[in-house]
Structure 1
Amino acid sequence: MYIGEQLINPGAERLRLSAQLGVEQVVIDNRGTGLVTPGGLWDAGKLREYREWVESFGLKIDLFALDVGSILLDFLTDEDGARRQAEVLQKNIQIAADAGLTALKYNVQMVGITRTGLRPGRGGVQYSGFKLAAYTPEADRQHSYWGVGYPTNQDEGDAESALLCGQKMAREVPPVTEAAGWRAIEFLVSSLVPAAEKAGIRLACHPHDPAYPVGGLNGVEHVLGSIEGLRRFLRLSDSPVHGLNFCQGTVAEMAPEPHAYVIRAIEEFAPRIFMVHFRNIRGGYLDFAEVFPDEGDVDMNEAIKAYQRAGYAGILCPDHVPLSELDPNRERFMSFALGYTRGLLHAAGYRPRITTLAG
C-alpha cells in the first residue's frame, strides 16, 4: 500500500507539492485539463503528453477519471442517447490505454452527494454532514457536493462540474426506483467492461454517497448504498477489470456501527478494490459528519491492518477533509491526512522508496 492524492487539474506547483509530501502516484480528474474534444472524445496525443508531463514531476498516474456524465439518468429516459454516450466512453477507454494509462475511475452518482449542513469541529473547522431528520431541499442545494466541488454553499445553477457529472437535484429527475437504478447500472457495466477488457484497463466504481433510507430520498434510490448492493454490483461481471473505488467514508456511512461495517467490507471486497478513499466519519447511517482521519468512529489503524490481511496493495487517497477559511484550498488538511496515513503505513511495516539526495 502507498499514499496518493486525488487531484483536479493540478498545476506544476501542486504536483511539486505532492512529490515533496512523498506522494509517488496520483489520481487525476480530467475536468479542466483541455483533453476533451467537443464531441466528448479524449485527444489521444494530448492525453499521452499530459501523462508524460505528470511523470516529469516524479509522479505516476495511478487512475484517471472517466466522466460518465448523465448516462445513467439518460438511460431511463432516452435509451438511444445513452447508447451513443456509451460508444464515446468505450472509445475513451481505448484512448486511455493507447496513452499509457492502466486504470480509470468513475462515479455512479445521479444526484449530488447529499449533505444537509456544516457542523462545528476542532479549532473552528466545519464538518460537512448529512442528517436525514434535517433534510430540506434548500439544505440539499446549499450543502451537497456538486460534481467535484466541496460543500461551500455552491449555487447549483452555476456548478459547471455538476453538469459535467450529470448530477442534478433529486426534484429535477424522474423517480429512480431500485429496479430502475439497477437497470441503469447494469447497462453501464455491460457497456464499459468489455471495452476495458479489450483495452487492458481496470475500472474502479465509486458507490452512491450517502446511503439513502429504505425507499429512497425524493424518489431516488441509492442501490449501491450497502454491502449487499456492492456485492450485487461486483456480481454483474466476473471480469478482473471490474472493481471498486472503495470510498471508506462512504462505506462507513452505510451502517449504524461504521467501524465493524468497514472492516467487514474490506475483508470481503479487497480483491476487487482498485483504489481507496481513506477517510473517516463520526456518526453513522443517516446521521454523520466527515471529520479528520484521526478523530472518527472508524479505527484507521485497524483498517490498515484489515487491508493488509486481505492483500490490498494499492493507493490510499485522502478525501473529504473538513473546511476552514485558514485552508481554503484544503492543501494543509490533505497534507495532514497524508502524513497520518503514512505514519499508519510505517507502523504496519510499509516503507516509501528511498530518494537519493544530490550533493
Structure 2
Amino acid sequence: MDRRKFLSATGLGAVALGAASTSVGAAPKTAAPAAKGGPAKFKLGCQSAPFDDEHFAFFARYGVRNCSSSAKILDPGRIYPTVDELKTLTDMGDRHGVSVDMVDSVLLTSSHIDREKNPAIMLAQDPQRDRDIEAFQTLIRNCAAAGIPAVKYNMSILGVLRSGKVKGRGDSEYLAWNLAEAKPPTPLTRAGVVDADRFWERITYFLDRVAPVAKEYKVKIACHPQDPGVPPSGYQGVDRVLGTIDGLKKFITINENPYHGLNFCQGTVSEDLRDPGTEIFDVIRYFGNRKKIFNVHFRNIKGHRDNFAEVFPDEGDVNFLEAIKVYKEVGYDGMLMPDHVPEVPGKPEARLENFAFAYGYIRGLIQAADHLA
C-alpha cells in the first residue's frame, strides 16, 4: 500500500492536528549532515519476551547481542527481583552471547491504570506509594550489584492508546490511533481527573526520591514517553504531560543528573509531531546532545499527531537512514531495538518473523552507518 492510498483509506490526511507544542529549538531539518567517520557506537537490541533460553537463542540467531529483559521473581509477594534473580537472567544471556543491558520493573508499567496491579505511585496513594518507591530503589541497587547498567519504566495512567487496526502490507495489520474516532471505555479512570499540575507533582515526587539513588549507584533510569500524546484538555480526564516534546524537555530537568533520562521511543515521539518526517531529527539532536537518550525503540509510523498507524520500519514517514545518521552524529551508544511490530491475524508465529525482519533491517542500517562518511 503506497502512502497516498494509505492516507486516503485511514483518513490520516483529513484529521485536525492537536494543539500541543512540538518546539525543539532550532528549525526542523529534513536530513542529517554527513555522518562522522568511524564505527557507530550504538548496537542492535531487543526487549521482546519470553526471556528463556529458547528466546535468547532466537536473539543470537539474528545478531542481537544486547537486550532489555525481565527477571523472574520467585516470590509472588515481592515486587522487585533479588540480586541472584538478576544474575540468573544475565547468566542466561551470557550462555548465548547476549548482554542484558537493561531490565524493566514490576512497577510503573505501560498498562492502563484500571488494570494496573501496583498503581500507588501514579495514583499518589500514600503510604503505599512510598513503599513502592522503596522497592524501585531496591531494584536500582540490585541492578548495580548484578552489573546491569539500566532500568526502564513508564509514568503512565492511560497505558498505550489505540483506536483500532488498519490493513497493512501483505496479510499484516497495523495498530492505529485516530483521536477523532477514539471512544474511551469510561469518561474517567479510577485516577479521576489528573490535570498537568497533579501529574507533574507525581512525577516530581518520584524523581526526587529515585533519581539521586540512580546517580549514587550509577544505574540509568530510562522513562518511556506517554503513548500517544493527547490534547491538553485530556483523555479520560488525564492530561498526558509526557506526550509532548516540551513535556519531555521539562522532565529531564527535574532532579537532573547523568543517570536520569529517556527510554526514547522514536515511534511515540513521532506520534507527538505534526510532521515527523522532518521534525524528528532535531528532536533526536536535542535529547541526544544532552546525553538523555538511554535506549531507542526504533519504530516507524505513517501519519502524525492524533492520527497515525504503526508500520514496518522501512515504510513509514521517517527516513530511518537519516535517523540513524543523527544518532551517530550525537554519539549515541545504546541499543536500537524494534518495538510494536505488526501482527498477522490468525498467525501468532508471525510476530517472531516480523521481529526477525526488523532485526535484519536495523542491523543493515547499523552496518551502513559504520561506512558512511
Q: What is the TM-score of this pair, normalised by structure 1?
A: 0.84
The answer to whether the 8 A contact 1:35-1:47 is kept is no
Tell me which residue corresponds to 2:211.
193
Looking at structure 1, the residues matched to 63 and 73 of structure 2 have their Cα atoms a distance apart, in angstroms, of: 27
- Identical pairs, percent: 36
Query: Secondary structure at 2:170's aligned position in 1?
Result: helix
The answer to whether the 8 A contact 1:67-1:107 is kept is no
- For these two proteins, the number of residue pairs brought into alignment is 318
Counterparts in 2 of 1:335 and 1:327: CA distance versus 1, 3 Å? farther
1:18 lines up with 2:54 in the alignment: no
Choose which of 235, 245, 248 in structure 2 pairs with 1:230: 248
Tell me which residue corresponds to 2:336.
316
1:251 lines up with 2:298 in the alignment: no
The answer to whether the 8 A contact 1:327-1:333 is kept is no
The answer to whether the 8 A contact 1:74-1:81 is kept is no
Counterparts in 2 of 1:244 and 1:53: CA distance versus 1, 3 Å? same
Choose which of 128, 132, 138 in structure 2 pairs with 1:91: 138
Counterparts in 2 of 1:214 and 1:81: CA distance versus 1, 3 Å? same
Looking at structure 2, the residues matched to 56 and 337 of structure 1 have their Cα atoms a distance apart, in angstroms, of: 24
Where in structure 2 are the equivalents of 1:146-295 lying within 5 Å?
A: 170-270=188-288, 271-295=291-315
Tell me which residue corresponds to 2:160.
113
Tell me which residue corresponds to 2:176.
129
Tell me which residue corresponds to 1:162.
none
Q: CA deviation at 1:122?
A: 1.2
1:45 lines up with 2:63 in the alignment: no
Gaps of 5+ in 2: 1-41, 109-118
Tell me which residue corresponds to 2:369.
348
1:305 lines up with 2:325 in the alignment: yes
Where in structure 2 are the equivalents of 1:60-71 lying within 5 Å?
A: 60-69=99-108, 70-71=119-120
Looking at structure 1, the residues matched to 122 and 106 of structure 2 have their Cα atoms a distance apart, in angstroms, of: 14
The answer to whether the 8 A contact 1:113-1:210 is kept is yes
Query: Secondary structure at 1:238's aligned position in 2?
Result: coil
Q: What root-mean-square deviation, in Å, do the aligned CA atoms of Structure 1 and Structure 2 show?
A: 1.8
**Larger relative contact order (Cα-Cα within 8 Å, sequence gap ≥ 6):** 2
Q: CA deviation at 1:36?
A: 5.4
- 1:117-173 deviation line (CA, Å, top 9, x unaligned): 0001111211001101111135x9xxxxxxxxxxxxxxxxxxxxxxxxxxxx95332
Query: Secondary structure at 2:60's aligned position in 1?
Result: helix
Question: Counting helix residues as a fraction of each chain, which structure ranks higher?
Answer: 1
Q: CA deviation at 1:37?
A: 5.0
Looking at structure 1, the residues matched to 87 and 269 of structure 2 have their Cα atoms a distance apart, in angstroms, of: 34
Looking at structure 2, the residues matched to 230 and 126 of structure 1 have their Cα atoms a distance apart, in angstroms, of: 30
Looking at structure 1, the residues matched to 367 and 238 of structure 2 have their Cα atoms a distance apart, in angstroms, of: 42
The answer to whether the 8 A contact 1:37-1:43 is kept is no
The answer to whether the 8 A contact 1:211-1:222 is kept is yes
Query: Secondary structure at 2:247's aligned position in 1?
Result: helix
The answer to whether the 8 A contact 2:60-2:97 is kept is yes
